[in-house]
Structure 1
């Protein structure tokens, strides 16, 4: 069975020992290595343990034998674009975390730094964490199925103050939102 354990582990910057220690109960780096290479069978129980250790959904560990995954073909640094040191699969945003479901906001018209066609991927966050999210772009629900989106400039006492992304718009107050989501990833077609 072809799996993506190694690709996901490397993308997250983890060693075999890191993954082994994150397993519950902990296992050895050698066991994780054998699961990665297919020398040991990836049972459903192992799939669940490794997925939790990597913070992904278990199905993300598997890949189709017929569909070719997106590969990292170059790395851009101050010295320019260079070949990667090793062959690696690229990770999809949905592969990054299984802790909470992502929320996605489509940008229909350009607004501030966001362009038409962009997708803003947001992670849900409890409202009481607003003070640690200052100066981040936030989506918050409003009554009637509407939303407020903007840079969080104040978030104490259950009242959020959002600076909209378009210039010339007034600061927006959101009273005691049921939830909020912080912009974590921007996908932009070139």
Structure 2
């Protein structure tokens, strides 16, 4: 099995110290470093602690040696494409998020900044946590199996206000949706 703690930690932009502090109970950056490099055995107990700290499924912290994963090999800067000093595994959006389910919105007609063929990955959050999604694109279920999509511009008690991405669109108000899905990643085929 290949240990993916470092790849997931870096994909989230965390340092060894931040991950060590987020563990319950907290541990040391040195211990996390040893677990990442294989100098210390990664037990189920450690997988549970680190998975909880990173807010990921513990089983995403390891993968089979037989499965070939996408690699991050270069970055595009103002000076052009540059090779990374050390290539890393490209962490999938399903491996970086929390315990809430991911859903995907398929874009079939260009609207706002979205083009036909785009896939927008969104993570469901409870209505109580909707305030952290203000000014972000969201998908909200409505009655009758319909949805509202757009920028979350208002949240009051059980009401949410959404501004669709097209020009000149009117605000949509949804009363008491069971959840809100917040956009996390855009996948655009070329």
Could you say what the CA RMSD is over the residues aligned between the two structures, in angstroms? 2.0
- Flag structure 1 segments of 5+ consecutive residues without an equivalent: none
User: Where does residue 53 of structure 1 map in the other structure?
Assistant: 53
User: Where does residue 102 of structure 1 map in the other structure?
Assistant: 102
Q: Is residue 137–residue 151 contact of structure 1 (8 Å, CA) maintained in 2?
A: yes
Q: Which runs of 4+ in 1 moved over 6 A?
A: none
User: Where does residue 154 of structure 2 map in the other structure?
Assistant: 154
TM-score (norm 1): 0.87
Cα separation, 1, equivalents of 2:109 and 2:24: 46
SS of equivalent to 2:114 = coil
Q: Is residue 74–residue 87 contact of structure 2 (8 Å, CA) maintained in 1?
A: no
User: Where does residue 6 of structure 1 map in the other structure?
Assistant: 6
The 1:24–1:149 alpha-carbon spacing in structure 2 relative to 1, beyond 3 Å, is same
Q: Is residue 113–residue 165 contact of structure 1 (8 Å, CA) maintained in 2?
A: yes
TM-score (norm 2): 0.87
State how 1:11-50 maps to structure 2 within 5 Å.
11-50=11-50
How far did 1:147 drift?
Answer: 0.8
Cα separation, 2, equivalents of 1:176 and 1:168: 25
SS of equivalent to 2:89 = coil
- The alignment of Structure 1 onto Structure 2 pairs a total of residues equal to 190
